[in-house]
Structure formats: C-alpha cells, structure tokens
Chain A
Amino acid sequence: MTEPLIELRHVVIGYDRPLIKPISIRIEKGDFWGVVGPNGAGKSTLVKTLMRLIRPLAGRIHIPNRRLKFGYVPQRHALNPDYPLSVFDVTIMGRYDRIALGRRPSAKDQIRVIEELHRVGMSTGRQRPFNSLSGGEKQRVLLARALVSDPDVLVLDEPTEGVDLVGESEILNFLSKLHTEHKKTILMIGHHMSEVISIVDHLCLINRHTDLFETGSTKELLDEEHLSRVFGKPIEIDSCEQRSHMHIKDLGDV
C-alpha cells in the first residue's frame, strides 16, 4: 500500500463539540475526491480540518510530507467585497509564500500569474477590479490563484455555486483535465451532485444530521441507497452514456 498524502484516523471534527462520529479517510496522490452532502452537513468543516485550518477535537491527522501545499479555492462570497484589488492583485496572493518579507514579487512570480490567468481563460483584463467580475470569472481567478502556488492538493469549496451553466461546465471540464492530464490531487466540495459524480473518482458522503460518513470509490457509493441516506430523501439515479443523473423522487434534480 502506498503512503497517503493525507490520512485522518478516527478524527472528531467540529468547533466546540463533535459534529459527527469519528471519521477516517485516506487521500492518495492523484485522487479526485468529491465531498458530498446536504447544506450544513459538515463538508466545509471536514475540508478545513483536512487543511489544518481547524484543529480536530480528537484523533490524528497524518500528513507524511510536512511541506505538503494546499491550494484552496474558497466560496467566492466568503471574500470581503470592499477591498480595492485587481484580478492581478488577487491572483498573485498565491505566490506570497515565496516572496520574502518586505520584498516585491519577482518577474518569475508575475509571469506565473499571467500564465495561470491565461490557462483559466482570464488572460485579458488583469487590471480589472476583482469585485466587478461575474461569479464565474471570480471563480476562475480564485482557481488561478490556487494554481500559481503549485499546490500538491487542490481544494475547492463549491466552485460552481452561483455560476451559470456554461461557466459551470467550463470549470468542471478544466478540473477534469487537470486531474487526467496533470495527475493533480483534487478535493472538491460539490454543489450540483450530478456534475460532481460525473468527474470524481472517489466520494466522501457526509451528513451530520444523520451521523453519516462514508468514503469509497464513486462506483461503490453511487447507488440510490447510499445517496438516499445522505440526503434523507428517496433518490433515483438514471444512467445514460456512462453519465449518471440524479433526482429526488417527485422533487427534481439534485
């Protein structure tokens, strides 16, 4: 068995009190994980614990490589809109850990920013105010910021939330390509279940309301019984041309 990038062993997550039963998860290099569950299920708390932003209440987080770098793409509405920052200003933050105290970004840093903005389709308008961008554009800039840091693990918190259908499809295709062509390890909190399960290879199902936590390959967990337990509602899965489509009985798409 290869050494994992990150391993949680019987970890209790939560801020002051346990959110859910002790959990264990093992993430290996090149994995593409989807973290799925209803609103308020504990998805963000889990991911923040994995990145060591929140201390676990109990258990052990094992990260063999002490220098493991996370590239985080937060939910864009978590950012303060009052900061007068340009697209370039926001993206270059991803290089700040390489810039010594009191020093300016080097030409190499600036070139990396331009490259990544180009890669996510934001090559024009680098000086545009970040807050004037559409939801999809902001998400792409935040993705570029995560990528300029050359992370070992890319972590995305609902990257397609509030993004139109075309933008959503572009972001998911980009992530899929990043995983298949560059073998990037990705952890994504899903918003649209149907889209998440079509690109990830591992699923982490979580729902603190029903004390449910299950991990496994998408094939193992992608059945109506598991998903119905996660969402607490009867769910049907239709498969068509190797793509799965889910909907809650009588309610519509999930």
Chain B
Amino acid sequence: MSESIPFWVNWDIWIDAMLVAVVSAGTLAYLGIWVTLKKITYVPLALSQVAAVGVVLAFLLHESLLAHDPGREGLLVLLEPVWFSFLLSVASAFYFARPGSGGDRPVVIAYLIASAVALVLGGFTRQDIHDVRSILFGHVVLAQTGQVVLVSAASLVVISLHVLFYRRFLFGSFDPDTAGAAGHRVYAHEVILYMTLAIMLSASTRAMGAMPAFGLTVLPALVGLESAGSMRQAISIAVGAAVLSAFLGYYLSFRLDLPAGACMLLTAAGLLFTVWLYKKIQR
C-alpha cells in the first residue's frame, strides 16, 4: 500500500483485515485482564505455540493421506488446520489449569517443546519453512472473509461463556480457596477460562500472527488495569484501548506502508506509556 492510495475510498481492500484485527483485539484485551491478574502471561504464549503444532500436524496428515489416496480429497475438510489447533490448545488448557502444577514451569516447558516440535515437524512438510511459518502465524493484511467469520465465531463463544461464568471466574481467580470452600467448582471454572483463552488465541494467531495476538492480549489489559478503579472500568478501558490500537495501528500501517501487526503493538504500547506518564505526573 502506498501513501497515494486513499484509505477511506478503498475500504473494500482493508475491511476484512480491519474486522479481524478489531474483533480479535477487543476480545483478547478482555481475556488479557484475566491473564494479567492471574499472572499467567506465559500461558497465551504456550497456547499459541501448541496451536501451531496442531496446524503443522494437520498439514502432515493432509500430505500423507493425499500421497496414498489422492481421490479422498473431499474427506480432508476434517483435517482443516484450525480444528487441530483448537483441539491441541484446548487439551493443553486442561493441563495448564491444574492447581499446584508447579507455577510457570510446566507452561514454559510446554512453550519450548511446542515451539521446537512445530519447527521440526514443519521440516517434514512439503511446504517451504517460510510458508509454514506464514501459515502458522498469519498476516493480518492478508485476512479473508473466512477468517472474519472464524474470529467472530470464536469471539462470540468466548463472550457468551464469560457472560455466564464471569462471577465464578472472578471468585475462583481472586480467592480460589474460599471459592472452593463455598462449594464452587474452581478447577472446572479454571478449565473453562483457559479454554476460552485457547479458542480465541488459536483463531487470532492464525488470522493475524502470534506477535500481534500476544501483544494485544497483554498491552491493552495493562492500560485498563493501570487506569481503572473497578473491574468494569478496567475491562471497558482495555477493550477500548485494544480496538483503538487495532484501528489506528492498521491505519498507520496502510498510510505509511509499515507492518500492520507491529504498528498495532506500538500504538498499544504508546497508550500504555501515556497512562504511566500521566500517573507519574499525578503523583
């Protein structure tokens, strides 16, 4: 994109990418509030890598099935990479949500192993390693209508579950022992919370890339928590900051011909530094 192409007139060029970015950013920022408060920053990183392993596995199965029986192409819809990434990341969510599983260690180990496995298995596919990485981690400017549908569906599932379980998540996260003593199923609620994170991260990582997905989970949530006095305010500000970062970041990347994901992250980081500066001046 060059500066000479008008932004607003050519909305049909960027609308899919913008929708993917805005919906992903808003939902991830909300989930980021939980990630930040629960101090589980490694979990989104590990989940996105596990999702990547699912994608590579799907590619390998595709290739081996087609090699033996090229006529069965119709059945391969079941081997869509997205299902594999959902499946693996949701399965990991069960493990990460376990109480007393040794703090960050298992999550960090899962992250490292998943990263290595994705790269090693990627070497066995016929795709060039660069292609595999780009399929794994997507690129928001290349987002298509199918990804808008996928990200929106994932967002809808996540928001619905959080509307239902918000209070359970809050009690179980803030004070798990008391919630457990009061009869709440803390582990089950943790699993649901981690699953929503897995669902949204695998959809967003495929659509917009690992770095923007992770960054938009953490940075806008910090903006919200740094500037709010209540959970409601923190969530509203985080979602607002994420949507603004996605929109403004994409706009700047379009006008200045810069990488979109990086522009979104830098916008979110700019908002965070503004909040920190404001708080410092206020003191």
Contacts and interface: CB of A to CB of B under 8 A. Distances in A.
Interface string A142-168: 000110010000010000000000000
A149 B171 CA distance: 14
A231 to B, nearest CB: 26
A232 to B, nearest CB: 28
B183 A48 contact: no
A114 to B, nearest CB: 18
A102 B164 contact: yes
- Does more than half of chain B's interface fall in helix, strand or loop, or is it mixed? helix
Interface stretch (B72-80, B121-129, B193-201, B227-235): B227-235
Interface of A: 15, 48, 51, 53, 69-74, 78-80, 82-86, 89-90, 93-94, 96-97, 99, 101-102, 129, 145-146, 149, 155
A87 B36 CA distance: 21
B185 to A, nearest CB: 11
B177 A97 contact: no
B163 interface: yes
B230 A86 contact: yes
5 contacts: A48-B177, A51-B180, A69-B183, A89-B231, A93-B178
Contacts of A51: 180-181
B178 A74 contact: yes
Interface in B141-182: 163-165, 167-168, 170-171, 173-175, 177-182
A97 B182 contact: yes
Nearest to A75: B177
Contacts of B133: none
Contact of A96 (B37, B177, B182, B228): B182
Contacts of A53: 177, 180-181
A78 B177 contact: yes
Contact of A70 (B39, B174, B182, B233): B182
Contacts of A146: 178
A80 B229 contact: no
Given A71-B182, A84-B233, 15 more contacts: A48-B177, A74-B175, A78-B175, A83-B37, A84-B225, A84-B230, A84-B234, A86-B230, A89-B231, A93-B167, A93-B170, A97-B183, A101-B168, A145-B178, A155-B181
